[in-house]
Amino acid sequence: MASSYSIEVPSSAKPGFTPIYRNAVFPEVHSTSTLYDVFNRTLARKPDSPFVGCRPWDFATGAQANSFEWITYAQADEQRTALGSALSQLAKEKKLGQEIHVDSKEWCMSFWALNRPEFQIVHQACNAYSRRLVCIYDSYDVNNAAYIINHSESHVIFTTSSHIQQVLERKTELPLLKAIVILDKEAPSPSGGTGAKLPRGQVGLDRVALQWASEKGLLFYRYDDFLSYGREHLHAHTPSTDPNTVAMYCYTSGTTGTPKGAIITTGGLAYAAKSAALGTIGLDTMIGYLPIAHIFEVLAETTVIESGGRVGYFSGDPLKLVEDCQVLQPTIFPSVPRVLNRIAALIQEQMAGDSFKAKLLRRAVESKVAYHDMDGSVTHAFWDRLIFNKVKMILGGKVANICSGSAPLRPEVLKLLRVAFCVDLRNGYGQTENSVCTSMAPNDKDTASVGPPSAGVEVRLVDCPQLNYYTTDKPWPRGELLMRGGVLFQGYFKDEAKTREALDEEGWLHSGDIAAVDEKGRIHIVDRVKNVLKLSQGEYVALENVEQMYTGLEFLAQIWVHGDSLQDYLIAVAVPEPGAFARYASHVLGRTVSSSPSDLALACADPKVVTSVLRDLVRLGRQRGLNGVEMLRGLHLTPEMFSVENGLITPTFKMKRPEAAKYFEKEVKALYDKGAVDIRPLL
């Protein structure tokens, strides 16, 4: 196959399989580095350059500062040594259990908190002293957290005061846990009768809590005191030189079942970072806001370290992310479709209507998209000076790289954000198990793919007869996507059966995703092996794929598409975007609807509004090529967002389908009892 993006490995095709594809520019990556090497190389080149930082909290005003405070690479080196030494000294004194001694390596500790500079200090200390780290989503409840602490065999936990009570209440179920290190900065003593204002995620600690920890048999340290303890008992670094040494357990967020602990090696993550850095621009300053328990965030930070850049962490409040970006002025903005779809919806909202401003913005976007479709360009001298340089300031004005991971962005959203932010936004594809697998090539105007294989990664397709996908399909071969290379995980911790399901004897990871390879060697994700539902008439529907096709209406924030094998049609539950939905409902009802919770609830229940929204969804589905069985025949609107707190989405914004079906059981039954809506008049 002639290709400008991928090359085929000669004589690698065999019945039921495509040839093996490699990146055309970087077919191989030669790396035996460890994460310790990655940090040390930048430390040697740029010791006084900023490494990690945040906006410090002002306890008096109760707000973040208007600037970032940085830890340099040299300072981080000193702090990782202090922290690692403190852990070694505890082991030497047999305070972490009889099985842990000063020479013990590869034992585990947990980090349960929002993104903050201390994460990288703990991470680098683990790399310097050959220990393992597991990060826990800050939003997890105590049941999930306790499971991960136990399953990973963690002896120490780094956390914030907001989680202390949860840990202490469950201590009897955490037999290996011996020490807590609290990350919060100690608030100043009250003066004048007024207590200090605490930042998000921090609660006051008193002597009762400290006494409680002691009674539970736990050592309790404040982070700064823990570093001081380590400085008093310094131990030399004992890094592993073996790239196959385990660095982390990365637990899948778990849309169904118990989270699985993916084994991430120090060489695998270093390899993935080198692969990701090749041909990537804008790695000087990164905003760190995606969960550190997710491999995408850890990989992005490691890639920035590989390139000698810095990571500035957000304030912990999603509503202040834009403010954080404007203060930091990042050059790279890693993101996921859920975040980018919301940004696109806000821009589309400004484009709607008949005002002069809306018409001008529509014309500017249409003009730039036309140029983009011709040559992939994302800049325009006139429109950028008039409009889009102001749009760029939303993220600080210096972003040169927006990379979208987790799942592909819809082409129209990708193009809109490219021209609005004047940046070569690229789709990528990866999983916990492979870190990074594909990434779009620079300035590729084809926005439907996730690009060719990443540097040093091999991919191929295998027939999936149960879903009627074959590598002999025309015009493009289709099948389950397999991948192989240094970026892969080693398996699932304590789960050989699941490991054998994922990794075959030749080292290929079976992704569970259906892909096609186009004539230029780019990967297109087209379906999912799992989450495919067989309706009562025998038709198969890929729910996740269909759900993605129904996203993009500016007045809807979220949608969940549901099917039942005993029924012959699909239904959905959707959540409105308050401001835009209020204007939409006002237009439909011919009266003013505010964005107050009570007005939104009434509008969501109004049959006229529901019918109008269903009509717009059906028309959107038709425009995007959905077939008849994939069309929605019922809709319920709810003003309650799908969230981690109500158990409907994972911390990585993936829908938890079994939980959603249970949560909306009454609404689902009502929609099916009502029967399928005749959508012909709506088209």
Closest residue by Cα to residue 51 from 38, 70, 26, 66: 70
- Are 113 and 201 in contact by the 8 Å Cβ rule? The answer is yes
Instruction: Tell which residue, 387, 420, 386, 423, has the closest CA to residue 402.
Output: 423
Position 595 pLDDT exceeds 80: yes
Give Dmax over CA atoms of the chain in angstroms: 80
pLDDT score of 606: 96
414 has a pLDDT exceeding 70: yes
**pLDDT (0 to 100) of residue 105:** 83
Q: What is the pLDDT of residue 521?
A: 94
Average pLDDT, the chain: 91
pLDDT on residue 193? 42
- Predicted pLDDT of residue 194: 44
Q: 110 — phi, psi (to 5°)?
A: -110, 150
- Tens of pLDDT along 448-459? 899 999 999 999
pLDDT band for position 85 (cuts 50, 70, 90): very high
Long-range Cβ pairs for the range 526-534 (8 Å, 24+): 526/478, 527/467, 527/469, 529/464, 529/467, 529/480, 531/657, 532/467, 533/563, 533/565, 534/565
Q: How do residues 329-358 score in pLDDT, each as one tens digit? A: 999 999 988 889 889 988 988 898 889 999
Q: Which domains does the chain have, with CATH numbers?
A: 6-30+331-336+343-528 (2.30.38.10), 35-188+197-240+283-299 (3.40.50.12780), 532-682 (3.30.300.30)
Residue 365's pLDDT band (cuts 50, 70, 90): very high
Whole-angstrom Cα Rg for the chain: 26
d(CA 247, CA 266): 5
Of 418, 401, 400, whose CA–CA distance to 409 is shortest? 418
pLDDT of residue 7: 94
Q: What digits encode the pLDDT tens for the residues 93-139?
A: 999 988 888 788 889 999 999 999 999 999 999 999 999 999 999 98
Say yes or no to pLDDT of 369 above 70.
yes
Query: Which long-range CB contacts under 8 A does 580-589 form with residues at least 24 apart?
Result: 580/345, 580/349, 580/352, 580/554, 580/555, 581/555, 581/556, 583/555, 584/555, 584/612, 585/609, 588/612
Task: Specify the DSSP element, H or E, that contains 482.
Answer: strand 478-485
Least confident segment among 254-258, 316-320, 510-514: 254-258
User: 552-588 burial, b if ≥16 CB within 10 A, otherwise e?
Assistant: bbbbbbbbbbbbeeebebbbbbbbbbbebbbbbbeeb
Name the pLDDT band for 509 (thresholds 50, 70, 90): very high
Q: What is the pLDDT of residues 285-327, one digit of tens each?
A: 999 999 999 999 999 999 999 999 999 999 999 889 999 999 9
Q: What's the confidence (pLDDT) of residue 254?
A: 58
pTM equals 0.87
Q: Is the pLDDT of residue 44 over 70?
A: yes
pLDDT tens figures, 455-474: 999 999 999 998 889 999 99
Helices (H), 515-606: 543-549, 578-589, 597-605
Q: Place 207 in a pLDDT band, splitting at 50, 70 and 90.
A: low
Distance CA 193, CA 99 (A): 49
d(CA 394, CA 311): 19
Query: From CA 621, how far away is CA 572, in angstroms rounded?
Result: 13
DSSP-assigned beta bridge partners for residue 159: 112, 182
First to last CA, the chain: 41
Which one, of 398, 233, 224, lies nearest residue 310 by Cα? Answer: 398
Query: 190 pLDDT band (50/70/90 cuts)?
Result: very low
pLDDT at 531 over 80: no
Average pLDDT (559-578) is: 93
Interatomic CA distance for residues 531 and 570, integer angstroms: 14
Mean pLDDT of 540-551: 87
Q: Per residue in 159-185, pLDDT tens? A: 998 899 899 989 999 999 999 999 988
Averaged pLDDT for residues 637-650: 91
Q: Mapping DSSP to helix (H, G, I), strand (E, B) and coil, where does residue 7 land?
A: strand
